[in-house]
Structures are given as structure tokens and as C-alpha cells.
Amino acid sequence: MKKVLQFMLSFVFWTSLCWGEMASIAKDWVNVRSGPSTNYKVLWQVFEDYPVKILEKKGDWAKTVDYENDIGWIHQSLLSKIHTVIVTVDKVNIRTGPGTRYEIAFKAERGEIFHLVDRKEEWLKIRCLDDYRWIHQNLVWGEY
């Protein structure tokens, strides 16, 4: 029993390292730095709801990667658990339901961010202003 428990704990630890924890940015114009403190250079800034994957934590700082594989450090107080996705292709159809047989509600462009609400197989339900629409999971990056 002890070996089974050790294996399970080890599995959880290693899978969390490989997959990383997802987060989103909690406010606009958050600095992404080259290291885990304000003494490090600001590499760029990101805006509210931008999704990132946490690779490592050091004190109050999180080493993150984004959908373009850019890596930098963000203070953990500036991260949120709100689930968001970002469009990763030039133009995508946002649909009224989970499938290509549903009507196209509008088109979104690369870099647009949506709050993730639910999923149905390969389709993600997203919040668009005061409405809900659907996008295929292969067209976005984030937590789903």
C-alpha cells in the first residue's frame, strides 16, 4: 500500500511539472520580467485575462510561458484563476453552437481572448460580452 501511495504522489508531482498550472493575468499592463523580483528587467507587458502556463514558482513569483512560447516571471498576486483562452490563428469562426453545422456568429482574430465557460467534446463554450458562443479547441491556447 505504501508503494502505491508513493507512486501516486510521484505521478501527480511529475504530471503537474510537465503540464503546468494555467492562470490568467489579473489586470492590465502587468510587467513580465527576466527573473523573480522587481530588480530584473521588464521584458514586455501583458493585459488582463491573457492566459499563461506556470512553469515554476519561486517565492511570490511565477515563471510563465505563453502561447508563443515566450517565458518570463510575473508576481503571483497579478495572476488569476479565471479560465481564459487566446485565439492562435489568423481568423476563426465563432459559432452559435458546438459544431460546424451551427451558424457563424462572428469571426475572431489571432490574439483575441475569451473566458472559458464549458466544453462539449472538442468544442469550447466561451463568453462573448453578454452572450455565449462556441469555438473549436484546436484554434485556441489556454486551459480547457
Tell me the C-alpha distance between 91 and 67, whole Å: 16
Instruction: Find all residues with CB under 8 Å of 79, minimum gap 6, and list them.
Output: 23, 24, 25, 26, 52, 54, 62
Confidence of residue 18 (pLDDT cuts 50, 70, 90): very low
Confidence of residue 5 (pLDDT cuts 50, 70, 90): very low
Which burial class, exposed, middle or buried, applies to 16 when counting CB atoms under 10 A from its CB (0-12, 13-18, 19+)?
exposed
CATH no. for 84-142: 2.30.30.40
Q: Is the pTM of this model over 0.85?
A: no
List the domain boundaries for the chain: 21-80, 84-142
Which CATH architecture is the domain 21-80 placed in? Roll (2.30)
pLDDT reading at 13 higher than 60: no
Start-to-end Cα distance in the chain: 33
Q: Tens digits of per-residue pLDDT, 27-74?
A: 999 999 999 999 999 999 999 999 999 999 999 999 999 999 999 999
Question: Hey, do 21-80 and 84-142 end up sharing a CATH topology, with the first three levels equal?
Answer: yes
